[in-house]
Structures are given as C-alpha cells and as structure tokens.
Structure 1
C-alpha cells in the first residue's frame, strides 16, 4: 500500500500538490511504524530532489511531511509501548515473566533499533506527539512562514523552533511586565526600547542651510547630558535606536568617564570617543548592534541633491545599541533590510519616514517604546504602546499623559 505512493518526483505544481496532499493523508492514516518510516524516508528523498531543482516551496513541503511523519511516529511508539511494548535491547533480553531465556528472546517485542529508529529520533518524535494538535499546527505554521522568508538552510527541528519561540515570547512578556511594574512602583515607566532623533547642533556655525533655521538645536554636551538623564528611564535589558548625521557619527568628542584603577579607586577622566558612542554610553548602552541606512532618494528622483561640503549627503544613519541582554532576536518574518529608500522632501525638514516606527514596533514585538524629540500627528501616528516626548509630539507625551 505504502510502496505504491511516490512523493519524490519534482513535476508540475498541480501534480506535486496532489502528491503532497496524498502523503499528508497517508501519514495521518498510518497504523504501523514501518509505514511512517517509509513515508519519512520518501520525504527526505523529496527534499533532496527539491534542493537539486532549487524548488524551495517543494523543499518546505518535504520537511513539513517529515515533521508530520515524526509526530505520527511518536504517537505510534507511545501506543505500542502501552500495548505490546518495546524491548530495551541488550543481551541477554529478560522480562518479568517466568519463561525461559530462549523463549523470552524468541517472543520479545521489537527494539527501536530493529524498527530503524535511533534514540534521538524516538525522543524527538515522542516529544512532538505530546503537543496538543492546535499547538503543533500553530508551530508548524510559524515555521513555514519563517522558512518562506529565509534564503539560507532550512531547519528540520520543530522542537527547537518551538523552544526559541517560547523563549522569545517569554522575554518580551517579561520586558512588558517589568515596564508596567515600574509605573506602579515609582510612578515613572522604564522602557525596554527607546527611539530618538537628537536636534544636533552643527559645528561650522549657522548658515542658510543650517538646522537652526528649522528648529531649536542642542550642543553636543547638552545632548550627552540629556542622554545621561535618561538612564533611569530604561530597563536593564533594552535596545536604543538613534538617528545621527554622517558627519557627526564618528566625530571625536571629549566626554567624562569614571575609571577604576589598580588600587580600586575611581577617577573621572576625559576620553575622546566617537560622538555617537558618547551619547549612547551616557544613556547606559554598552554595545553597538547594527546600523540602518535611510536613502533620501527614490527611483523617480534618483538625483535629488543633498546638502554637504565634501559630499552630497543623500542618506542618514539610524544606529542601534544594546543594554544588557537587549530584547530577544526577532522572528525571521520580523527582520527588515538595512536600507530603506524614500524621498525626504515630501516629508518635510528632518522628519523621518514612518517606516522606521513600524520597523521598530515589529522587531521589538510590541513592547513599550519611548520616542524622544518626537514629531507625530494624525498623518504620522505613533504605534500602539508607544509614548513620546518632544516639541512636536501632538498627542501621547512622556508617560502616556496627554500633551496640553
């Protein structure tokens, strides 16, 4: 019956889909371990053929069949243990009966090895079989969605996927719980993420192209002092997203740091560090994570001329920093590209694309986020669970109070 079913050939989409559906039914209807093992082997061959043909959708289907087969295998192993039993193996074999050793060996139940199942597969299959059906299907759906979004090698370990998802959600839930608890305990919310666009002052003075013509700016030392005042508004594990002009990011700036020397005494010394790091470390971040680039042109206007002295600045940097453990890594379906292209002129001077709010809201998993130096209104609203502070924040201000 099983030998007549072939799910290996890589043919037209309709044919492949019908074989996939037939294989799913065969797995669900299987009543013996060897039936499931044969289907699992065919799924592995189907995956190999799909990889040769570079058919990613078919490869995902093959791995799904393998996972469904392993879950069914776990159910059958459990059922066999509860009925005829499975031998543990070893020589000589003995059970609790009074039969002779030769009779016991001759009539003993099969071992996992004799059924072609190693201990690792047996353990994984039985763990998968303990999942409630709805949980298994939800997890399988998550795996399929993430696999379709990836370009690299696909995982075949659904238990690992489930463990990572539970850990990710648990850490996000903990971050939100700690943030909520901070309001009850201190009256001020601590945030697991902050997004800010400081009003940088240019060093070369005020010209007709200067930031000062559009909004009030702050000196570098003022921004660092402000960042230091925000330390207590962040949880011990947090992410930070900071906009910085290219000319400012690596400009060296002398900043006071506390240094412990060999005798254990603490001294304050001035150290020159890149400006972006001086601000981030003042806020309590201890590691740089990555950088996003906003390109301020589009395909229709690729030659929009930016400002600049040595080079026309047609992009801007959004730096990402980490404090402690940060937040858990996002799902594959929550990961964004490092570059976003959108014309700046329609947005207005210094306003950043709404894309980045949506990106941060997604990769942080919906936890509370504080946006500082914010500019938002009905056209450019804040995401859910965000608070804001800034001269042009029109609704939810710091701590969620309505801005007067």
Structure 2
C-alpha cells in the first residue's frame, strides 16, 4: 500500500525560533485491540491490518522518523531543541507493552535530548496495564499516565463499545501511584445515550476515590463514519441532547472543583501542578513534532501531517522519505484566529491586547452578556461562558 508523499519545507524563520517556545514530541501508536463505536481516531485492529503492519515495523519507522526530524533541523543550521514534553497517544499505546514504550522514549531522548524536568506521558487502556507495567514505565522515565475510563456504568461502557470492566480504571490509577507516578489522569465521556445523572455521579465518585490529580471530561460527539453514527442514523440510538450535555458538564465541574480540581481548560481539571504541560503547548502556540501514522506537527507557523496507514508510513520511511501527507503555511490571520480559538478556552484567558478594536468590542459585549469577565487585561470565560465558548469565539472573530 502506497500513499502520496509531499515535500516538507520549513522556512528559515520557522526553525530559527525553535527553542524559544516549548517543544514537544507527540508519538501516535495506531493499534487497538477493538474499535470503539464512537471513535474516529486513526486506529487499526489486528484484523484490519492483517500482515501489512506490525508493532515492530511501526517502531522501526518511528525510529527513522525521529532521526530524519533531527537531521532536517540540523541541516537548516538550527540547534536541535531539547524536549520539554513527550506524549504517547493513540490508539492504545499500552498494547506495545512497557518494554517497547520505554524504547520509544529512549529513541526520543537519544535523538533530541530530554530536559531534566520533562513531562513524559502515555495513554493507556486500563485492561492492558498491571503493576509490573507501571513499575517499568516509571523506571524508564515516564512521569505521567492517562487512563481511559469514560464511565463507571457498565451499560454506558457497552454503548461506547468499551471493553474494560467498570472498576479497573480506579485500580489501574492506584497501581500507577504505587509505582511512583505523581501525575495520573482519568478520561470521562458524558452524555452517552442511556446515561443517567446517577451514572455520571457514580463515575465522578470513582474518579475522586482514585485520587487522581487530573481529569479530562468530554461531551460525547457522534462523529460521521463511526459505528455509533450509523446506529443514530438508523434510529437505534438517540442523538445526544444539548441541554443534557450542558447539565452534565455543570455536574462534572461542580463535583471536581469541590474536590480541589480546578478547570484550567474548558474540558480539563487539575489539582495545582497537575496540569498537562504537553497539551498546554498545543493551546499556547508551542512547537511539536508529531511522529507516527497520521500524526500532526507544528513548528513556527508551519503545520503538516503524516500519511495515515501504518504500512504506508513505514514504507515511506524505509524508502528514505519523511511520511508527510500534506502541509500548510499558516498566515498571520490563520495564527491569530487559532490563538483566539484556543487561548479563550484556558482559565488564564485571552489577552485583550491581542485583539483588534472590533474584536475587543465583541469581547466587551461577551462581558456584558455574562459570558466572560476581564482580569489583568485578560478575557476569561465565566462558568456560563464555558458552555458557550464556541459562540464567544465566533462573535469575536466575526
């Protein structure tokens, strides 16, 4: 299987700024044991891949991509930046096993160098973890684990096609803490068809019982092309209700904040010091190299993305080519628009100085409407404004 490869051009000013902003590495592991009905990520089961790709071929491709990335930066006369954050996502990275995940980190460390205080995260499915798994990860240099919980209600997990048992995420979080991890995240999804208020309350009880320092909670989105979208189209499942989603978000926010986890991004809550630095790099115009099939990258206003299929990805790298499927040079207008869209979602807020006179007028109207407030010349969403963040962004950019 072959996909078209495009050349990647990084302007001098893009690479010259490396090291002046946070620099992260995102590593996409495309393997999953099963496909969840709601998921539209670039993932593949063993049955879908057959013999066309394997963890071994993926790992060799990743090794080559990291080497080529560092060479490209060095060839432009720029210093190779040390890594501030690493995030291994997917897919289900824990399917690689602890040994391969440590090798993944070792490759990044030996190619770019890792800062002494670097944050190193991996996503994991609770069912493919164990105390030994976490012990090896921690000894290998990982500092943070993100566990997919979604819900503590069995019937909600069944609707989502999740395979883990309801109590396993809490047990996995405790195992991670016992292995020496200080930072553990649990992911929640709310608004699944059939979910009741008491189901979400039980999920929040479980999260708080686990004692994690970070929670990500997302409303269910029915993505086109997924098994869940087909069920909704056939009338087997109802569409998520916007009013229900808003009420569930308020429930999540109230419970987490009462327990000492404050929101720092619209869908993310953390105890002090538990914020995900890697994701903050995305939201605050940082630089990152995305390695792996379908991974996206951004350096100095240039964005590109890798070809999606694991076999095509590995084949391109075996031929000596970066597996770039497309790229774009962001204009000043593009970058401004994205800064407004992303920064407004942060509890730290959007600097009013970044806005034009017309945009500031719209921002002050959001304040008058009770959707935002201003503190230290930063526009910060109110609790109600977080429910309508997209509308606030549209009004400002209009």
- TM-score normalised over the length of structure 1: 0.28
- TM-score normalised over the length of structure 2: 0.28
Higher strand share: 2
Answer with 1 or 2: which has the greater Rg. Answer: 1
